[in-house]
Amino acid sequence: MHSSSDDVLTLFSGAGGFSYGFASAGIKPLCGAEIDENACKSYENNVGSPCHNVDLAKTPPAFFKELLGGKEPFAIIGGPPCQGFSTAGSRVSTDPRNSLIFNYLNIVAEIKPRWFIFENVEGLLTSGHGEAVSSLVREFLKIGYCVRIEKVNLAVYGVPQTRKRVLIIGNRLGADFNFPEERFSYESGKSKKRSSKPFAPSLLEAISGLGKSTNKRTDKSQYTTAAPINLYDELMRTSNVSGLITEHFDNTKPEDAIRFSLLKCGQTMKDLPEEYWHESFRRRAFRRVKDGIPTEKRGGAPSGIKRLHGDLQSLTITGAAYREFIHPLLDRPLTIRECARIQSFPDSYDFCGNAASVMQQIGNAVPPIAAAVFAAHLQQLDGTYGSDLSSLRQVPSPRLLGYQLTEATGMSEALKKTDFLLKAFLQRELEYV
C-alpha cells in the first residue's frame, strides 16, 4: 500500500470541507491555500494541516512546488470561487474572478499531480456560451490530462440536500475511468431523482438530535437525547467529545415569527399576504415590470424566505440559508449548525469568524461526505494505493473521456452550445494534443 497520505494539495480550500472529507477517507492533505483569513483558521482548526493565507491570483505555482519538495503529488483538489459563473450572480464571462480558474490550471500544469478534481457551480457549463468550460478542457488536454466532466447532484452521495455541482476529474496516467457510482435517490421539491436506491437522509433526519437552539451565539446547546436518534445523527456526533453544540442559536424577532408561522412547507414570501412582505422583497418583486420585458423572461421575483420540507432533502445550502430557509416545524430560520449538518460538517467542526463569515464558509464548501466518496474512489482507481491500474482501459493520448451536462431529456439553448463545443473534442480528439 501507498504509505504517504499527505501528497494532496487543496486550492481555494475555504473552511476545509473538501480536505476534511479526504482526510476522513485516509488521505490528509499536505496543506490548503485560501485568501480568506477566517476560512484559513477554520481549516487549520479542523483539518489539522497548515492552510496558507494567500491570494492564488498572485501566488506563483513555484510556491507550491517548493512546499512539495519537488514531489509530484497524488492529487490537487479544489474549486475556484464561482461568483462569476453562479446562476445567482450576474454571469459575466469577463468577471476577473473567472481568471482564478486558469490560476488553478497553471498550478496543475506546473506541479503535475497524478489526479485533480476541479469543483464548480453549474453556471460554469454555460458561461461565455460554453467557451469557459471548453477552453478549460482544451488546456487540461494540452498539459497531458485525460478528463471527464459531469454535472452531479451531490445528494446521490448521501448529502441531505440537493446540490448540483460541476466536477472535472483528470489524470495523467492515460487511464479511462468513471465517476463513483450513485448511492442514493433524492427529492427536494425542486430537484428529484428516484431509482431503486434508498433516499439520502431527509432534512429532519439530518438535523435531528441537535436539541433546542439557544438565544445567544456564545451559548452552547445540548443534544436532545444521550444516544443518537439515527445513523446520520450518530455520524455528526462522532468526535464531539464535549457533547455540547456551538452555532446552534436563533434570535428571531416576534414579528418575523408571525410571518414564518403563515408559511406552509414549500411556500415562499410571495405566498404571504402583501403586508408581510419584506421591503427589499417588495422592491425586487416589482422591479422591471414596466420595462416591456415579458414576465416569463424576467426570471420572476426572488423567493425571499422559504419553509423547507422536513421529509425531503433540503434545498442547496448557500451563505444566505440561515436567513432565508425556514425550519420545517418551527417558526424560525435554520441555525448555522443545522446548515453545517446539512452540508455534512460534523458537530465538532470549529468555525472561525463572525456569523456571516461562518455561514459563507459553510455555503461555499464541498460537503465532506461527498468529498470522502471521491477520495475513496481515486484511491481505488489509482495504483499507488494498492489497486491495479491495469484494469482501467488505457488511452494513447490525453483526451476528453466523456461528459454529462444534464440528466434532463431536453437541453436549454445555452447548454446546447456547450454540448456542441464539447462534442467536437470527442470527434476530433487527437487534434488538440
Written as one letter, the residue type at 116 is F
**Is 82 tagged catalytic?**
yes
- Measured from the Cβ of residue 60, the count of other Cβ atoms closer than 10 Å reads 12
246 Cβ neighbours under 8 A, 6+ residues apart: 220, 337, 350, 351
CA pair distance 377, 385, nearest whole angstrom: 11
Cell representation of residue 62 = 513555484
323: nearest Cα among 280, 367, 264: 280
Catalytic residue, candidates 40, 51, 82, 146: 82
- Do the beta carbons of residue 314 and residue 207 sit within 8 Å? no
Query: How many whole angstroms from its chain centre is CA 63?
Result: 26
Q: Cell 436567513 maps to which residue?
A: 323
CA pair distance 46, 17, nearest whole angstrom: 9
- Do the beta carbons of residue 101 and residue 34 sit within 8 Å? no
Phi, psi angles (nearest 5°) of residue 168: -115, 120
Complete DSSP assignment for 168-218: EEEESS-B---PPPP--BEE-SSSEE--SSPBPPPHHHHHTT--PPBSSTT
Map residue 225 onto helix, strand or coil.
coil
The angle formed by the CA atoms of residues 114, 118 and 121, to the nearest 5 degrees, is: 170
Helix (H) / strand (E) containing 67: helix 61-67
* Residues known to be catalytic: 82
